[in-house]
């Protein structure tokens, strides 16, 4: 699904819980991870996001239980600007332990009950996707992020995949589609870059990295140095 289709699906769904469509379609959360989000999982530092710590699952008897995430590790999922206001509204004046998206009785969502509440069957037919599954929104999010130019390693961390190679194996077709877009961007550069010449600093207007010159300072929880060059700068030597 495209981003436009995700938005159209959310409009076609009814009630306040139609926001779940946008949350799944933009973040790629698994259903159990979304159901397991609590108000206290919203974060603001280093940017708006949610901390995915648990999943709410349903056993064969229909009983709900709390479990770890699929790979048994918590992760931080950044919120695109479209979602910030939505999540903030669901968190407003609520207890940190409350479910972020909950039933009218204050319990965690069940997928089948949610689909009935928002009119899922009608909504997916309305956008011309009669065979759409809720889990397909996760695949849509991956395609949207990769199509927007996000690095595969970034998308891996957003989706909670074990490795970036797993992300590439699943969504390599999206990256293939970006090859020519990348060529256009490179061809549109004004001037060439001399890779043998170190970049020149300008006297003003240059922002320092928050980690430069501070080898003893660790980044905030959930944020990792993302490049080899940064690791070299912090340690002062090759590792």
Contact 147, 178 (CB under 8 A): yes
What is the value of pTM for the model shown?
0.74
CATH of the domain at 96: 1.10.443.10
Return the higher-pLDDT residue of 78 and 188.
78
- pLDDT of 13 above 90: yes
H runs (alpha helix) in 92-129: 111-118, 120-126
Nearest alpha-carbon partner for 54 in 134, 164, 156, 160: 160
- 13 inside domain: yes
**Which value, to the nearest 10 degrees, does the dihedral of the CA atoms of residues 153, 142, 23, 113 take?**
-130
- By residue range, what is the domain housing residue 112? 3-131
- 91 inside domain: yes
Q: pLDDT tens digits for 132-168?
A: 999 999 999 999 998 888 888 999 999 999 888 888 8
Report the range of poorest mean pLDDT among 115-119, 140-144, 229-233. Answer: 229-233
- 103 inside domain: yes
Number of residues written out for the chain: 239
- 171 inside domain: no
d(CA 19, CA 109): 13
Q: Computed from CA positions of residues 15, 21, 24, 27, in that sequence, does the dihedral angle turn out positive or negative?
A: negative
The domain tally of the chain equals 1
- 223 inside domain: no
- 97 inside domain: yes
Most confident of 123-127, 208-212, 216-220: 123-127
């Amino acid at each position: 699904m495209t981003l436009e289709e995700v938005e159209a699906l959310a409009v076609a769904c009814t009630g306040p819980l139609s926001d779940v469509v946008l949350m799944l379609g933009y973040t790629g959360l698994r259903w159990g991870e979304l159901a397991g989000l609590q108000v206290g999982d919203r974060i603001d530092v280093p940017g708006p996001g949610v901390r995915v710590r648990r999943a709410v699952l349903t056993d064969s008897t229909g009983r709900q239980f709390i479990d770890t995430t699929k790979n048994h590790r918590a992760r931080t999922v950044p919120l695109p600007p479209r979602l910030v206001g939505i999540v903030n509204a669901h968190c407003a004046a609520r207890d940190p332990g409350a479910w972020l998206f909950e039933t009218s009785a204050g319990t965690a969502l069940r997928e089948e009950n949610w689909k009935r509440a928002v009119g899922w069957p009608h909504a997916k037919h309305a956008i011309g996707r009669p065979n759409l599954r809720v889990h397909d929104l996760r695949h849509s999010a991956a395609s949207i992020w990769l199509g927007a130019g996000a690095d595969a390693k970034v998308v891996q961390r957003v989706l909670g995949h074990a490795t970036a190679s797993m992300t590439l194996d699943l969504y390599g077709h999206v990256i293939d589609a970006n090859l020519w877009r990348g060529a256009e961007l490179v061809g549109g550069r004004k001037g060439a870059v001399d890779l043998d010449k170190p970049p020149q600093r300008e006297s003003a207007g240059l922002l320092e990295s928050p980690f430069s010159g501070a080898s003893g300072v660790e980044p905030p929880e959930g944020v990792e140095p993302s490049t080899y060059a940064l690791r070299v700068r912090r340690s002062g030597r090759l590792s």
